[in-house]
Amino acid sequence: MLAILRQGRWIGFTLLTLFFIALFARLAIWQMDRRQQRLAANRIISAQLDAKPLQYAALDQATAADPRFASAHQWRSISVTGTWDAAHQFVWRNQALGNNWGYDVLTPLLPASGPAILIDRGWIPAGQTSAGPNSVPAPASGTVTVRAWLQPSQPGARPHGIPAGQVLVVDTASMARGLPYPLIDGYGQLVHESPASPHAPSTQPGPALDDGPHLAYAVEWVLFAFIAIGGWWVYVRRAVEDAAAGDADRSTTSRPGGGSGSDTSPPPVPAGVGPSRPEVKLPPSIQQIG
């Protein structure tokens, strides 16, 4: 086997196999790192979900306008009392609820004092055309109390070519430019409102606190590494067996007599020597004629 592995093509094949084994092992470790990162993020989210809800009225304007506020308290519940501004609501394109695609409705909520807060009231289905939904449910009139999960703003360039009142990302700084009042940096994902609107959109679910597919992916990469090892071993074994068979054939053909191992042909007969013929005696009558 060592003699075979010293050949150039087998050296290259072995090095290539080792490269893929190292690559698959590295990808498995990377997936396990991703899993640990997700578990750590889930612990932070769980702590935010279990924390006491923030009272929006107790926040000063500087805190609410701080870009780091919503990011530091993502998934923290916040309680806000105010009135809906249906005249300045947006629809958020390309949003899914389960396996269905549509829009989320973003409506400003105006508290008694301080900046407004944008609330994702929930999901509505796509319309008959790509231009927008068929209709947008109106929010409840009068004063409402809303509990929502804080979410950070999503800064991004405002795209051209989409209808007015629609957005692809919730960039509150950009969206506030067209409003007659300031918005806090970030928005709320609606959990509950009181009194509830009879025709409200479908609220989006909370965060998924599982560990994701990373463990399964890591196991797959480890299996690929074992497949590479097994494939290398099968090819090496086959090469060793083929080499052994070739050596046996050459050993057999090198023997005298064509390599049959025994000579079963009859010995040659010397020239002039052959089997004796029996003497033929003629009848007396034929002998007399002769």
Q: pLDDT tens, 234-273? A: 887 887 776 666 666 666 666 555 544 455 555 555 555 5
Q: Answer yes or no: pTM beyond 0.75.
A: no
Question: What's phi and psi for 180, nearest 5 deg?
Answer: -85, 15
Q: pLDDT tens, 67-106? A: 788 888 999 999 999 999 999 999 999 999 989 999 999 9
Per DSSP, what are the bridge partners of residue 145?
A: 81, 194
- Confidence band of 289 (pLDDT split at 50, 70, 90): very low
Q: pLDDT tens, 190-212? A: 999 999 888 899 999 999 888 88
Alpha helices in the chain (DSSP H): 2-5, 8-50, 61-65, 67-72, 172-175, 214-253, 284-289
